[in-house]
Chain A
């Protein structure tokens, strides 16, 4: 049993990578630590349970990384994906720290493996967790528990007592035991974003948000973020934005994870519910294209679209969780998708007529393009003409949100007046917007979580002692 009457040095709210790194580093620095995870034990860890790798800078190849990835290159990649929406000082600090994280995280029990099959493009830059994100989490929890960090599950924080930027206590609500006031000298908020909070998403997306599928657990509701912003913490990141990819429309509402994604867009065409194409399916190579299709589908009527291809390309992409819907003719396929058959036939006929000869190569921006249709398919355009005709229905799958709390290099929250908080720190997705104002680069969420989690824990422990 955890003694909740005592005053802890560090209270960590959250249960994912950032929270655990903070808890472990605070505990290693000698602090007493309580970690409150709002989810039940199985669903602990927020989005971390669905992750699989981390992007860290390194000057030389390692056992699992195929070559160097310098700080400068990392910085350039970050600039590229964010379009400059990043705090350079914080970002460069994080990138520098990421070098050491590569070893530090191993000391916390996490094991690396080379990049997974089908992700060779990440083999140089990203270190993969052996067994995936949940294996990584399990290792961090084991380490935290061995070090003596107290962890509570189903531990929902319903209020924070904050005065003049100083954290005093948290109101904890548990299924058994009811409400308790938890006191601590410092707070580390590592409770993620609000991607599972449909009502909140609706503020920016309207009724369309009802058709969004959430890739992580239903517990990422952003309650802590909301409280902090309401109590004077400075916000960062575009509140209207979220990271969305196209996922199978048959996926569950929550927690479908990575396996519901589709990356077959380049091998066919994408139509909306009126059986019309709406965007260049051949615009860019993976992973850049991956992240745009979620929002493209979100902008379509009823937030639904269909990737349509033919039987010649079935083995060109990774096997999918849900099998493609098949039809011997375009009309039959249209019937199964409940699309207007003549409209789909026309779209495909027009597309096929526009396809120009070329040499297909899906690993580069090849010369297979259309001519005379709008939108064009600028690469990898091939006729869809070999039955059976196949389709995946897709919807926007929301991964994470960008709104967060402003922090400095100590991971210390900044208040609306720009002053650093006396004893409040933030790490992980809840402050990711400082570094990642928009876009995404594979594995960077975990870098933000581990680097700032470690810093936040260390600083909070130091703060508690003073």
Chain B
């Protein structure tokens, strides 16, 4: 017996699939399943997070609905995956954040933006918020750099702590294989698999989304989003290093590294989320966990808002709109940071961990 109804169903499906195995070549889930004959809650959560939701196994399955065996692996694992996010959330008291996630993230984002606008207005003299500021340190007229670094550093540290604690719980539940902590090879393999989205391709033809014609669009948009995010993150890191190591203060010229990285990343984070959202809306409902739509949409929109407000700030930083735009951008980014452990962001972390474990399992069976 399993802890939840959906894990019970996942167990039933894995029993069906394990006696068939036709999908073995499609992704990592089925080979991982074949290494087991019985499935614990942790095993099922591992498989759920290993699944990239490419949909191929649904389209290829001779037992998918309306067949009486009613095999719908992508949807079942999607529900189990979403439930696993709540199950491993830290602190436990915040697990409920996943329940009405879309609403919660929207509220936090709105409050965060409002706090920055009112904060800027309250702290500074009248006129500073809508004044024109240029040259090095312009942003810090509205908020001192150290305050900014402290606030965002703290938010990021908290998010990382919460994520690490979540991963720890996940890692324990799925059962740590021997030798894991020192295994660089599995780690590298997982980095490659995640970086290429190796398992979001239906075994080579592409992802099944709105019908039985596979395409590479979801993979492409996800690449835009992920690498856009990484570039933006790199821009922030370089800016911080400039500030503390070279004593060069933002804003930087358009050709300077932080701006180039941020602009490229920003473009990725506009194109990617729009694409992902449109693919999501087109997606065949039979593959979709409707409960999760709010969470997915909220995260995609937060990424989109981060890039749009960032790019707007770049465009109008020398105008009177700079102050409100800075407040808007910082508000969105702050909300993004503190909600990272309690929204769709965690999918990347848990899936990566699942890939590490899978790489290790593969290695151990090969040895």
CA distance A138 to B56 in the complex (A): 11
Asked whether, in the complex, the Cβ of B60 is within 8 Å of the Cβ of A259, the reply is: no
A21 to B31, CA, bound (A): 31
The answer to whether B34 and A117 have CB atoms under 8 Å apart is yes
Residues of chain B at interface, number, CB under 8 A? 31
A134–B208 Cα distance when bound, in Å, is: 14
A60-86 residues at the B interface, CB under 8 angstroms:
none
The answer to whether B59 touches A117, judged by C-beta atoms less than 8 angstroms apart, is no
Q: Give bound CA distance, A129 to B26, whole Å.
A: 11
- Map CB proximity to B onto A288-331 as digits: 1 under 8 Å, 0 otherwise: 00000000000000000000000000010011110000000000
A residues less than 8 Å from B204 (CB atoms) = 111, 130
Q: How far is it, in angstroms, between the C-alpha of A252 and the C-alpha of B26 when the chains are bound?
A: 27
B15 at the A interface (CB under 8 A) = yes
**Residue of chain B at shortest CB distance from A135:** B60
Say whether A465 faces chain B, with CB atoms less than 8 Å apart: no
Chain A residues bordering chain B, tally (CB within 8 A): 30
CB-nearest residue of chain B to A321: B19
Q: Which of A96-127 touch B at CB < 8 Å? A: 111, 113-114, 116-118
**Nearest chain A CB to B148's CB is how many angstroms away?**
52
Identify which of residues 6-51 in chain B touch chain A, using a CB-to-CB cut-off of 8 Å: 15-16, 18-26, 31, 34, 37
Kindly identify which residue among B15, B66, B202 contacts A321, using a CB–CB cutoff of 8 Å: B15
A111, A114, A131 — which one has the most chain B CB atoms within 10 A of its CB?
Answer: A131
A86 to chain B, nearest CB (A): 29
Q: Does B131 contact A (CB under 8 A)?
A: no
User: Does A132 reach chain B (CB closer than 8 Å)?
Assistant: yes
Asked whether A130 lies within 8 Å of B203 as measured between CB atoms, the reply is: yes
A133 part of interface (Cβ distance < 8 Å): yes
Whole-angstrom distance between the Cβ of B366 and the nearest chain A Cβ: 13
Q: Which A residues lie within 8 Å of B21 (CB)? A: 116-118, 318
Q: With the chains together, A130 CA to B201 CA distance in Å?
A: 13
Question: Is A257 on the interface with B (CB-CB < 8 A)?
Answer: yes
B212 touches A (CB below 8 Å): yes
Most B Cβ at <10 Å: residue of A52, A258, A321: A321
Instruction: Say yes or no: is A49 at the interface (Cβ < 8 Å to chain B).
Output: yes
On whether A259 and B19 interact (CB within 8 A), knowing A111-B203, A131-B60, A138-B59, the answer reads yes
Which residues of B lie under 8 Å from residue A134 when comparing CB positions?
Answer: 22, 59-62
Knowing A113-B25, A132-B23, A133-B22, say if A319 contacts B62 (CB, 8 Å): no
What chain B residues lie within 8 Å of A117 (beta carbons)?
Answer: 21, 24, 31, 34
Decide yes or no whether B68 CB sits under 8 A from chain A. Answer: yes
Q: Are B203 and A49 closer than 8 Å at their CB atoms?
A: no
Output the least CB separation between B11 and chain A (Å): 12
Interface pair A258/B20, CB less than 8 Å apart: yes
Cβ of B92 < 8 Å from any Cβ of A?
no
Chain A 129-163 interface mask (CB, 8 Å, partner B; 1/0) = 11111110010001000000000000000000000
B25 touches A131 (CB 8 A): yes
Q: Are A132 and B60 in contact (CB under 8 A)?
A: yes
Q: Select the residue from A42, A116, A315 with max chain B CB neighbours within 10 A.
A: A116
**Chain A residues, Cβ within 8 Å of B202:** 131
Give, as a whole number of angstroms, the nearest-CB distance from B295 to chain A.
30
Query: Is B62 touching A132 in the complex (CB atoms < 8 A)?
Result: yes
B158 interfacial by beta-carbon distance below 8 Å = no
Cβ 8 A contact of B60, one of A138, A142, A255, A321: A138
Q: Which B residues lie within 8 Å of A130 (CB)?
A: 25-26, 203-204
Cβ–Cβ < 8 Å partners of B34 in chain A: 117
Across the two chains, which residue of chain A brings its CB closest to B21? A116
B179 to chain A, nearest CB (A): 24
A128 to B22 Cα, complex, angstroms:
9
Residue of A nearest to B56 (CB): A131
Decide: A319 and B18 in contact? CB cutoff 8 A.
yes
Q: Mark B347-364, 1 if CB is under 8 A from A, else 0.
A: 000000000000000000
Closest to B213 in A: A142
- In the complex, the answer to whether A42 meets B19 with C-beta atoms within 8 Å is no
For residue B238, CB closer than 8 A to chain A, the reply is no
The yes or no answer to A183 lying at the interface (CB within 8 A) is no
Given contacts A111-B205, A131-B56, A134-B62, contact A252 B22 (CB under 8 A): no
Task: Map CB proximity to A onto B191-232 as digits: 1 under 8 Å, 0 otherwise.
Answer: 000000000001111000000110000000000000000000
* Pick from A42, A132, A321: contact of B22, CB under 8 Å: A132
Cβ-based interface call for B172 (8 A): no
Cβ–Cβ < 8 Å partners of B5 in chain A: none
**Minimal beta-carbon separation of A213 from chain B (angstroms):** 13
Question: Least Cβ distance of A162 to chain B in Å?
Answer: 34
Find chain A residues with CB under 8 A from B15 CB: 319, 321
Partner of B63, one of A113, A129, A135, A257: A257
Whether a CB of chain B sits under 8 angstroms from the CB of A50 is: yes
Check B19 against A116 for contact (C-beta < 8 Å). no
**What is the chain A residue whose CB lies nearest that of B37?**
A319
Q: Evaluate whether A131 and B16 lie within 8 angstroms (CB atoms) in the complex, with A50-B62, A116-B24, A252-B68 already known.
A: no
Which of chain A's residues has its CB closest to B68's CB? A252
Q: Scoring A residues 230 to 254 as 1 if CB is less than 8 Å from chain B, else 0, what string do you get?
A: 0000000000000000000000100
Q: A131-B25, A318-B19 are in contact. Are A257 and B203 (CB under 8 A)?
A: no
CA distance A52 to B21 in the complex (A): 10
Residues of A within 8 A of B26 (CB): 130-131
Q: Determine the residue in chain B with the shortest Cβ distance to A216.
A: B62
* Distance in angstroms between the alpha carbons of A321 and B78 in the assembled complex: 23
Closest to A138 in B: B212
User: Who on chain A is nearest to B18 by CB?
Assistant: A319
Most B CB contacts (10 A, CB to CB) among A117, A133, A252 go to A117
B126 within 8 A of A: no
Most B CB atoms within 10 A — which of A52, A130, A138?
Answer: A130
Per the bound structure, the CA–CA distance linking A137 and B199 in Å amounts to 22
A35→B312 CA distance, assembly (Å): 56
Q: Which of B16, B24, B67, B203 has a CB less than 8 Å from the CB of A42?
A: B67
Candidate in B24, B56, B202, B213 with the most chain A CB atoms within 10 angstroms: B24
Given contacts A319-B37, A320-B19, A321-B15, contact A133 B62 (CB under 8 A): yes
Residues of A within 8 Å of B60, CB to CB, are 131-132, 134-135, 138
Query: Once the chains bind, are B59 and A135 in contact (CB under 8 Å)?
Result: yes
C-alpha spacing A221/B26, complex, angstroms:
33
Q: Which residues of B contact A131 (CB under 8 A)?
A: 22-23, 25-26, 56-57, 60, 202-203
Q: Kindly list chain B residues whose C-beta atoms are within 8 Å of the C-beta of A258.
A: 20, 22
Contacts of A252 in B (CB 8 A): 68
- Closest CB-CB distance, B49 to chain A, in whole Å? 22
- Residues of A within 8 Å of B25, CB to CB, are 113-114, 128, 130-131
Interface pair B63/A315, CB less than 8 Å apart: no
Q: Can you list 9 A-B contacts with CB-CB less than 8 angstroms, sorted by A residue number?
A: A111-B204, A116-B22, A130-B25, A131-B22, A131-B26, A135-B60, A258-B22, A259-B19, A259-B20
Binding site for A on B (CB under 8 A): 15-16, 18-26, 31, 34, 37, 56-57, 59-63, 66-69, 202-205, 212-213
A interface list, Cβ under 8 A from B? 42, 49-50, 52, 111, 113-114, 116-118, 128-135, 138, 142, 252, 255, 257-259, 315, 318-321
Chain A to chain B: the 3 pairs with minimum beta-carbon distance, closest first? A132-B22, A131-B60, A135-B60
Given A42-B66, A131-B203, A319-B19; 15 other pairs, CB 8 A cutoff: A113-B25, A113-B203, A116-B22, A131-B23, A131-B60, A131-B202, A132-B22, A132-B61, A134-B22, A135-B59, A138-B212, A142-B213, A259-B19, A318-B21, A321-B16
